[in-house]
Amino acid sequence: MSGFWARQRWWLGRVIALPFQLLLFAIIAFFLVRLIPGDPVLAVTGNQVSPEEYLAVKHRLGLDGSPITQLFNYLGRLVQGDLGESLISGRSVFDDIRTRLPATVELAAMSLLVSSILVFAVSVLIMFRPRNIISRAAVAFSRTAGSIPEFAVAIVFIFIFYAKLNWLPAPLGRLTPGSPTPVVVTHFPFLDALLTGDPAIIGSMLAHLVMPVAALVISISAVLLRLLNSQVEVEMQKPATRFRISTGAGIGTVILSVYRRALPGTVTMAGALFGNLIGSAVVLEGLFSFGGMGQYLVKAVQSADLTAMQGFLIVAAALSLVIFLLVDIVNMMLDPRRRPGVGAKP
């Protein structure tokens, strides 16, 4: 039995570390909010407040008592999933985030999925037909890595495909106004649309998603493609690849072998990009009037809604930590040399 657990250590250790990292992040967020220059209570209420009101707001902010009691109160509520109440609207921050964040995450995840498939396909093409016209165009495109802002692409798309050609629907929401809306089940809009099974709703939502997803795909694919391509080039020259080719292994085996070694760097990058994609999705939601996390967050920032931001910070951190966990596990599955306690050098 101990042998079994020893063999599972590589991923178990990583999973067990997660709650501790989250705790650390929560403590950092706690102190970050207390780093704000000036008195947060006055920043929220303005200068003209009665002493009772002042104390009430202070209590709502969780700022009464010594820093240590504050920290423990805050962590205690956090464990129960209570992120406090918005200072402006008085609604539960957790509920607000739960209804809005899924839409943003869905947009980011769809873009990442589409660009992963595209990048993988194109990199295989480049591997076999490097002088093909598509391969050359793709390599040239990958040089622009990181220098195309997604909102620039989106604005150009809106101008061409909506204003001029009118091929795609107006950037005014996820569905054409007046059309039936799917029942909210999961808060993931596209998933909800799929659950209705109504082809009209699914089609309408897909048409509205084309432009923002394409803009996000364009802005991140270049980065992924450039990295994957350079890694594949390096791994193609390695003795391991030559050995497989020279022993007459099938083409699938060779591809598998090369990509097992070349992919981890790109997977890590994709994980890191997912966080940035959420940020970009926030920007695009404003442009396409999608109403996800974007407007909520900007409103919170503009009205200095501290609890809302503190709550969002923790949720965003939790999300990135889970993504990083997935990245590590995928990488360790792809390339066992990356598991802890393995001697061989990758």
Partner 1 sequence: MTGIAVPTDVQEPQVPRRGSSKRSGRRWLLLTPALAVLALAIVGPWITPYDPRKVVARPLLPPSGDHWFGTDDNGLDVFSQVIAAARYDVLIALGVVFFATVGGIAVGLAIGMNESQGGPVGWFARLMSRSVDFIQAIPSMLFGLIAVAFFGASTLSLVIILAVILSPYQIRLVRTEVLQVRGEAYVDAARLAGTSEFRLTLRHVLPNAVRPAMYYMSVIFGVSIMLLAALGFLGVGLPPPTPEWGSMVSRGASGVSSGRWWPAAFPLVFLMTTVAMVALGFSAFQRRDDKR
**Positions that interact with partner 1 (CB under 8 A):** 24-25, 28, 32, 35-37, 146-149, 151-152, 155, 158-159, 162-164, 170-171, 230, 272, 275-276, 278-280, 282-283, 286-287, 294, 297-298, 300-302, 304, 309, 312-313, 316-317, 320-321, 324
Nearer to partner 1, 14 or 255 (CB): 14
Task: Report the nearest approach of partner 1 to the CB of residue 275 (Å).
Answer: 3
- Give the Cα separation of 89 and 26 in Å (integer): 23
Nearer to partner 1, 11 or 162 (CB): 162
CB-CB contact of 238 with 196 (8 Å): no
- Give the Cα separation of 208 and 170 in Å (integer): 8
- How is residue 13 written in tokens? 């250790």
Task: Report the nearest approach of partner 1 to the CB of residue 297 (Å).
Answer: 6
Q: What totals of helices (H) and strands (E) does the chain contain, helices first?
A: 13, 0
Nearer to partner 1, 36 or 121 (CB): 36
Task: Report the nearest approach of partner 1 to the CB of residue 289 (Å).
Answer: 10
Contacts for 70 with CB less than 8 Å, ≥ 6 apart: 30, 62, 63, 64
279: left (phi over 0), alpha (psi -120 to 50) or beta: alpha
Task: Report the nearest approach of partner 1 to the CB of residue 57 (Å).
Answer: 18
Look up residue 66 and give its DSSP letter.
Answer: -
Q: Is 189 exposed, middle or buried (0-12, 13-18, 19+ CB in 10 A)?
A: buried
Task: Report the nearest approach of partner 1 to the CB of residue 46 (Å).
Answer: 16
Identify the bridge partners of residue 92 per DSSP, sorted by sequence position.
Answer: 85
Task: Report the nearest approach of partner 1 to the CB of residue 301 (Å).
Answer: 4
Nearer to partner 1, 204 or 229 (CB): 229
CA distances to 45, 53, 311 from 89, rounded to whole Å, are: 13, 17, 14
Nearer to partner 1, 16 or 301 (CB): 301
Nearer to partner 1, 35 or 133 (CB): 35
Among residues 182, 213, 218, which one has the least CA distance to residue 197?
182
Nearer to partner 1, 11 or 25 (CB): 25
Task: Report the nearest approach of partner 1 to the CB of residue 278 (Å).
Answer: 6
Cβ neighbours, 10 Å, residue 320: 17
Task: Report the nearest approach of partner 1 to the CB of residue 92 (Å).
Answer: 20
- Residue 313 CA to its chain's centroid (Å): 13
Among residues 111, 147, 123, which one has the least CA distance to residue 263?
123
Nearer to partner 1, 193 or 277 (CB): 277
- Give the Cα separation of 210 and 261 in Å (integer): 33
